[in-house]
Structure 1
Amino acid sequence: MTQETPSRPPIGSLIASKRRRRDEGVGQTPRPRPPVPATGLQLTLSRAGEQAFEGHAFDPEKPDHRLIVELLLDGEPAALQRAESFAPALAGIGDGCHGFRFAVETDRLQHLGHVGVRIANLAESPVRSLDLANEAPLAARHPVGAVSWPGGLRLTGWVRRPADGGAPPLVEAYLDGERIAHASADAWREIAEGGAASIEPAFTLTLPRFLADGAARRIDVRQGERALSGSPVPILAFADGLEAELTARSALRDEAARAALFDLACPDAVPFGAFEAWDARFFPVPAGPRLAKPLAVAAIGEATAGRKTLDAPASSGQVGAVLAPDGGPTRFDAGDLVRFLEGPGASCPVIVLALAGTVLRPGAAARLAAALEADPSAEIAYGDLLLAGPDGPATPLLLPAFDEERFREQGSAAFAFAMKRGPAIKAARRGIADLVRLFLAPLEGGGGLSAHLHLPGAAFVLPEFDLPALNEAFAEAITAHLAARGIAADIHTRPETSLPAIRIRRRSAARPTITILLDAATSPEPDIAEAVEALEASRSKGRVELVVLARGADEVLREKLKLDGIALLDVEPREGYAARLGRAAEPLESDLLCFLDARLRPEGADWLEEMASRLEDPRTGAVGPVVTSPLGAIVEAGLVLRPAGRAVPAFRDRMAGDPGTGDALHVARQVSALGKACLLLRRTDFLAVGGFDPLLFPHSGGEIDLSLKLRALGRRLVVAPDAALVLASDVRETESRAETRLRERAERLLFARWPDAFASDAFYSPLLDRGPVPYSGLAWPPGRALARRSTLAPARPIPPGW
């Protein structure tokens, strides 16, 4: 099978012409050779700012080794760092990544005379020292930014924030001297340099698709006239991934399995703004599956808008009706629905219900109906949405598998979906006369997680709507839904959202007892005292106990904790994370357990009550908060699972207050796994699934394994956006080589135990970017758009020592 190569665009021809002239040497000056490294160990140090000191450490005889540099303050050791950042002075020598950068606090600098460095654990190491009295800051040495290639035709990185606070910096990409792409650095990233952190503008550059031809290239990336660290960036991209490229070639088809690993490691994506081209490329207008029986369509709303919905043919032989509004934009007369389904729609096994004015995309309704007919246990099927705006193209909203928590707090999937005729009639006869309640009707009838199917792919285009009116209608519908289920809760509308959104706070008949397990095994004693004090407001409300896990606590701290009524658990010398927390939890008798990192500080007095209220739902298994850095960057807001056992933090490229993609950070939502920084769950559930596994996951991965065990038990994992905690320090811990090996082994074991969970995260769309920054674009090519649920099969057994 042959594939026709598309003609090059004009800029491609220009670049090819320039390359030929370069290769032929016509009018070109010879390229300078890379500098020849000097012999002997190289160690440099210079001052790069008020607090910054940088240099490089390099051994020409072992160019692949990364040396450990020790910071000396007036001759005394103060910090260690691996020399692995890009050093411009070594550009052209290997990858040039042998640089380091230390930050020294201003109050310490005032009392220092010299700052120096040496190679750690090397007796004959040279020492480089600066006399602070004679060294002026050299701000120009600050790196202007950095760039890297995550895969495909994307380049990501960061640049310095403009000193005048002006417009986002412009970043440009060049190939053979010609500009081929540019982007504004309009996102954010937390950058750690020398142990200190800062928030800097971040960018994503999407390169032209004609470069996806399997040829390796080097792309120059600049901000203004200065090249970013890491530039030129080598890239290698294929039209639809390497696996598809090799599958199309009969001689190389056997290599497709290995090519799939390359695609996983270097995934491609395009920005959301390219949705129309992406959609046309991977989801061409389909005829849709041929249905044996006609399809019913009901539009809820005014007649004029309803006709617009019915005029878009859902399938051949469809039967349509407009159900007049009855007290709100989502309400209708239940009798009208029953009469329609028992009259004109009597021969239709499936009905599509949508807000009036919604446009059904070609073939989408037939796909939803076919999925329902093929699944006896399913009652409702929904697809992804396009949100129409006043100007420009529609915005894609790519939804998760059924997320009960999110769909109760946000109006989205409930505004357009397909439902089997029988359950729809039963719900209407029970008095359900609202589109939102109809979507959640299986829950009111005692149904479980199997009733809802999600089919990835844009199925409906929602019309522009009156947000205040729809917010009010959505809140009334959820209030009635909770009342029908006997759930007492306080409901408040959430302001400043793009979609209807509310906050639900369940009322508790009896306040549960909670034990906070403060993990301070690696914290110094002053930090422990500060963490304990920060939790005093939570303890003072009653029914909250505190247990501190510490290693080598002195008598002063022991006495202070004893006087405050706080238990202390001594951590054994080599006791890992899973073992010490499991040992601490085993003898407790409280209702709830809260595993808390000692570096976290609550923001607000009711963080624990907010999380505990989510556990009032017996099907909720664990709750996590939103954790931010001292500078306001999001550190944890749930995890997204990636193939090969990796779990990456969601929305780590956002600042506190950012709504997130589809307002996801403004509402409670389910996730596939929660992070270890803060985790609240029932003690009975923790013991029922065996807690953390100290054998397979002694140091890392245990919280992910625990999360998945809870999900396999039928429990939901929820991120509570109104429970906020902040890291007390922005100091980053450097991962040792031993810790890296343990983490990589944990990732392998996680994938072996839970292959289905990692292959396709139920709460993350297969159509979204599979790179290191979730929710940053559209996957190219997209994952498989198969009907899916949020349920999870039990773990696969792993032999000991595997």
Structure 2
Amino acid sequence: MRIVGYVEGYAENTLVGWAYSPDRQGERLVLLVECDGVPVAAGLANLDRQDVAAAGHGDGQCGFRIRVHLPPGQELVVREASTGTLAFSHANKAEQDDGTDGGDRPALRSDIVQGNVDNVLGTVIRGWCWQPSHPDRHVKVQAMVDGRIVAEAMANEIRGDLVNAGIGAGDHAFNLRMPYWCLDGRQRDVMVHAEGHGAIHEFAIPFLCFAGGPLSLLEQATTDANMRNPDTATAVRLLQCYLEQVQQQIPASIGFGFYPEWRAALTGTQKDDVPAAFAADRPGLNAAVQMIRQPDGAEWIAVLDQGALLYPGALSRIIDVMQTVDADIIYGDADLPVDGGLMPWFRPDWNYDLCLSQDYTRGLTLFRAALLREIGSCSSATLLRLRALLRQGPNGRIHHVPEVLSQLTRSPGPELALHARQAVLEHLHSRGADQAIVTTIDEHEGLRRVEWPSPKEPPFFSLIIPTRDRLSLVKAAVDSIEAKTVDARYEIIIIDNQSQQEETLDWLNEGQRRGRFRVIPYDAPFNFADMNNRAAEQARGTILGFINNDVELISGNWLTVAASHLERPEVGAVGARLRFSNGMIQHAGVVVGTGGLAENAFQTVHVDDTGYFHRTRVTGNYSAVTAACLFCRRSDFTILGGFDADNLPVAFNDVDFCLRLRETGALIVWTPDIELYHHESVSRGRDNTPERVARAMKEENFMRRRWKNLSMSDPHYNPNLNLDGVPFTGLALPPRHPWRIGR
């Protein structure tokens, strides 16, 4: 048997190359790897290698990746297993082959690709892929079914385990979202390829998913007849509880590109349904306002913004909601044309700070007429709607219908942005914030920055920084605070958790001697919550700032911004925009419910991008923010008992604290006007030891028990958006709210 092939390289304990027999075209060779005459590994040469076929060798299915551990310099022999025919020999050298030597070998690249498919969760195939010879490059990966590319993604996402494993800078993870047509309950075999390099795994991955989720399958299998059987009914209820937990902890989603199919499945409408025009001109708007002022006028009035079109059934749906909820204002979701398709704008429930920063309720809104009777003549529906909404204040009787009721055909534009700014200024002045400044930062999209007045008496801040050794980190954090902070009174408290390095101890002693900061010793195992609690007890400030030791300040006016928000009685905590050193966002608010727990928003977004409908550019309310940079009143922190050091010593204590603040009615404000670099978890490392894994699981289980009522219903996150992976990146399968429009 003649064998043609080539060993391209050896890296990450993997032998990579290609081999085939011209005498047995179409047959896949089983290869045996021998060292010193002893078999040490085997593999099948059946991986996709179209580059080899293009060079005139084989049929494109002759690649191999054989896992084998070889010491440096080890000679090896590769044979065809059934006949013992020598395929080739190879020395495991430190340098790469150049791929150009030898007979009829084609000139192939030497920069081999390494990767792995880690798991399949819901509709997403997750893994990593990189070129060891070019660690700064990012590889495109493709999911293939029956030789057809069905999904693509760049392997450019950061993952902590890849950092620890030395896979470049850790930014080589990928998430492949399978298309909607693959979610029909049929199993398909999927191969994941690195573009131009072939498959990154040896065996096909079975993929099976149903768009309606596991609970819908149970509903289809259950009939009224079999539910009359007590034993069957009990079994069904138990299975339903189990599937609810599965759906909560392993949520599924689909990409925004499949929104038309996703929406059609929910509403029973066709993808080409055209919304109906329903908009009054400006004189008509004023006439309507005059009409409802009459004693026998309408009880409710629907306001449709200029450029908005109603979907069939939208008015009926919002009227149905009006009859079942106790609210004065009702608004829905909308979609709008983007790049030749439709993009859904799934909004949060009433979000006061977001409304001040962005006109996020545009589309169809229903008002009690009594609310509009006190409003003067308005030049636009935008001005009318915003005046009425903002009069409700932070905790208004406002209900959100998480269903797409209208389509927006255009952005607000300069004129409507001017009207919106006017409405916001009027509202702030009515609250007594006469010195507030409202700046339009994007006229086309109608985005605003609101600068609340600073307190008449500037507060004193206590900035609390836990640390243990890692002098370069904590020194950079303190130096940046001292160098950049302007117009603020503050102290720095460093909680030292058993630092041992002499240079760290010298720096701490010298800084304390010179009055740069106070040092509080913490001679106990690491407990982030308890360390901060002890420092808070000794703090002198009226405002506490919890700051990680692995941050660096960017915004010099950060304390002024925090003080202005905490001067507002409705605000309980303020969080910051944190960015990685490579420019990617690390934190832009926390969404509760991701994987049944919580996750930072927008970690796949660059600081120069805008995120989902500009959320990374504007201030808004979230359910929680991270304590890598979190401000709150010392009095509130004391009343709530601080962080939960008993049940949440390391993780989720900041989320838990914010949720307890929210239970008191307080708002959690996230703002991009406070910005820092955050080198996440650099100082402690990852939770990968058995002890840390056990502790992390205990904390996760505690959070699921304490906040199970919020795990699927974060009011600041739309139930139509994904809860798997990074929030705001896809559509929930199924949605956590049943749609009624069109049904």
Number of the residue aligned with 1:771: 724
Q: Does structure 2 conserve the Cα–Cα contact (< 8 Å) formed by 1:372 and 1:420?
A: no
Is the 1:212–1:239 Cα contact (8 Å) retained in structure 2? yes
CA pair 730-446 structure 1, distance change in 2 beyond 3 A: closer
**What amino acid sits opposite 2:635 in the alignment?**
T
Instruction: Quote the residue 1:761 is aligned against.
Output: 714
The answer to whether structure 1 residue 651 and structure 2 residue 602 are counterparts is yes
Residues 387, 395 of structure 1: 8 Å contact kept: yes
Residue 156 of structure 2 contacts residue 173 of structure 2 at CA under 8 Å; is this kept in 1? yes
- How far 1:502 moved relative to its partner? 0.7
Q: Which residue is 1:782 aligned to?
A: 735
Per-residue displacement from partner, 1:89-120 (whole Å, max 9, x unpaired)? 449xxxxxx99xxxxxxxxxxxxxx9xxxxxx
Instruction: Report whether the alignment pairs 1:154 with 2:124.
Output: yes
C-alpha contact 1:271 1:777 (8 A) present in aligned 2: yes
1:192 maps onto 2:141 in alignment: no
Seen in structure 2, the aligned counterparts of structure 1 residues 521 and 229 have a Cα distance that, compared at 3 Å, is farther
The 1:239–1:394 alpha-carbon spacing in structure 2 relative to 1, beyond 3 Å, is closer
Distance 1:360 1:443, change over 3 A: closer
Counterpart contact for 1:151–1:266, Cα < 8 Å: yes
Alpha-carbon distance in 2 for matches of 1:88, 1:165: 20
Give the C-alpha shift of residue 375 in structure 1.
2.6
In the superposition, relative to structure 1, how do residues 500 and 725 fare at CA in structure 2: closer, same or farther (>3 Å)?
Answer: same
From 155, 171, 182, the equivalent of 2:141 is 171
Match of 1:574 among 525, 537, 542: 525
CA deviations 1:194-238 (Å, max 9, x no partner) are 356254585534246246325474534342233236974343312
**1:483 equivalent in alignment to 2:453:** no
Q: Are residue 397 (structure 1) and residue 345 (structure 2) matched?
A: yes
1:250-300 Cα distance to aligned partner (Å, 9 max, x none): 3784533323333334433222122111111112259xxxxxxxxxxxxxx
Change in CA separation of 1:308 and 1:446 when aligned onto 2, cut-off 3 Å = closer
Amino acid at match of 2:663: A
User: How far 1:722 sits from its partner (Å)?
Assistant: 2.0
Give me the whole-angstrom Cα distance separating, in 1, the residues matched to 2:702 and 2:349: 25
Deviations 1:166-192 (A, max 9, x none): 9986533223x5215132539754652
Whole-Å separation in 2 of the counterparts to 1:37 and 1:401: 65
Residues 593, 711 of structure 2: 8 Å contact kept: yes
**Conservation of the 8 A alpha-carbon contact between 1:247 and 1:256:** no
Give the AA of the match of 1:153. T
Shift of 1:140: 4.7
Structure 2: distance between partners of 1:552 and 1:655? 36
The 5 Å alignment of 1:342-741 reads 342=293, 346=296, 348-376=298-326, 378-388=327-337, 392-426=340-374, 428=375, 435-436=381-382, 438-441=384-387, 445=391, 449-465=395-411, 467-487=413-433, 488-495=435-442, 499-537=445-483, 541-552=487-498, 554-574=505-525, 576-642=527-593, 645-727=596-678, 731=682, 733-735=685-687, 736-741=689-694
Choose the corresponding residue for 1:279, options 242, 249, 263.
Answer: 263
Residue pair 2:462, 2:539 contacting (<8 A) in 1 also = no
Partner-residue secondary structure (3-state), 1:417: strand
Secondary structure in structure 1 of the residue aligned to 2:260:
helix
How many Å separate the matches in 2 of 1:622 and 1:575?
25
Q: Is the 8 A contact 2:267 2:739 kept in 1?
A: no
What code does the residue aligned with 1:194 have? A
Q: Distance in 2 between matches of 1:447 and 1:169?
A: 49
CA contact (8 A) 2:303 2:385 kept: no
Match of 2:212 among 240, 245, 249: 240
Amino acid at match of 1:269: S
Q: 2:333 is aligned with what amino acid?
A: D
| Alignment-mate amino acid for residue 174 of structure 1 | M
Q: Which secondary structure state, in structure 1, belongs to the residue aligned with residue 673 of structure 2? A: strand
Query: Within 2, Cα distance between the matches of 1:744 and 1:166?
Result: 34
- Measured after TM superposition, the shift of residue 147 of structure 1 is 4.1
Alignment partners' CA distance in 2, 1:338 and 1:146:
62
1:744 aligns to what? 697
Higher alpha-carbon deviation: 582-591 or 538-547:
538-547
Task: Identify unmatched segments of 5+ residues in structure 2.
Answer: 1-24, 42-63, 74-92, 98-108, 223-231, 500-504
The counterpart of 2:178, out of the listed 194, 206, 209, is 206
Alpha-carbon contact 2:112-2:132 (below 8 Å) kept: no
Task: Give the superposition deviation at 1:425.
Answer: 1.8
Give the CA deviation at 1:750. Answer: 1.6
- 1:579 to partner: Cα distance: 1.0
TM-score (norm 2): 0.76
Taking the aligned partners of 1:651 and 1:150, their CA distance within structure 2 comes to 22
1:759 is paired with a residue whose SS is coil
Given the superposition, is the C-alpha separation of residues 476 and 721 from structure 1 closer, same or farther in structure 2, using an over 3 Å criterion? same
Contact map agreement 1:626 1:719 (CA 8 A) in 2 = yes
Q: Are the structure 2 counterparts of residues 766 and 501 from structure 1 closer, same or farther at C-alpha, using a change threshold of 3 Å?
A: same
Q: Which moved more, 1:409-418 or 1:647-656?
A: 409-418
Tell me the amino acid that sits aligned with residue 335 of structure 2. Answer: L
| Distance (Å, rounded) in 2 between the aligned partners of 1:708 and 1:413 | 25
Distance 1:400 1:231, change over 3 A: farther
Q: Deviations over 1:641-689 (max 9, x none)?
A: 1267411111111122220011110101111111121111111111122
Deviation digits for residues 47-101 of structure 1, max 9, x if unmatched?
Answer: xxxxxxxxxxxxxxxxxxxxxxxxxxxxxxxxxxxxxxxx96449xxxxxx99xx
Structure-2 change in CA distance of 1:277 and 1:742 (3 Å): same
Give the Cα separation in 1 of the matches to 2:521 and 2:217.
Answer: 57
Q: CA distance change for structure 1 residues 360 and 323 in 2, over 3 Å: closer, same or farther?
A: same
Q: 2:465 touches 2:492 (CA, 8 Å); kept in 1?
A: no
Structure 1 alignment gaps of length 5 or more = 1-26, 44-86, 92-97, 100-113, 115-133, 287-305, 311-320, 326-331, 788-802
Amino acid of the residue matched to residue 318 of structure 2?
L
> Separation in 2 of the partners of 1:37 and 1:425?
89
Equivalent-residue separation in structure 2 for 1:88 and 1:498 (angstroms): 52
- Indicate the SS of the match to 1:738: helix
Q: Distance in 2 between matches of 1:512 and 1:231?
A: 64
CA contact (8 A) 2:333 2:405 kept: yes
Task: Flag the 1:775–1:142 CA change in 2: closer, same or farther, 3 A.
Answer: farther
Shift of 1:407: 1.0
Relative distance call for 1:628 and 1:676 in structure 2 (3 A) is: same
What displacement does 1:442 show?
5.9
1:360 positional shift: 1.3
Counterpart of 2:319, as a letter, is A
- 1:324 is aligned, of 275, 283, 297, to 283
For 1:241-260, list aligned pairs within 5 A: 241-250=213-222, 253-254=236-237, 255-260=239-244
Structure 1 residue 412, shift from structure 2 partner: 2.5
Distance of aligned partners of 1:357 and 1:447 in 2 relative to their CA distance in 1, 3 Å threshold: closer
Counterpart-to-counterpart distance in 2, 1:443 and 1:589: 39
Aligned residues with identical type, % of pairs: 23
After superposition, what is the alpha-carbon deviation per residue over 1:548-580, rounded to whole angstroms, capped at 9, x for unaligned?
111345255213322134111111222511111
Contact 1:625 1:725 survives alignment (8 Å): yes
Distance in 2 (alpha carbons) for counterparts of 1:734 and 1:643: 20
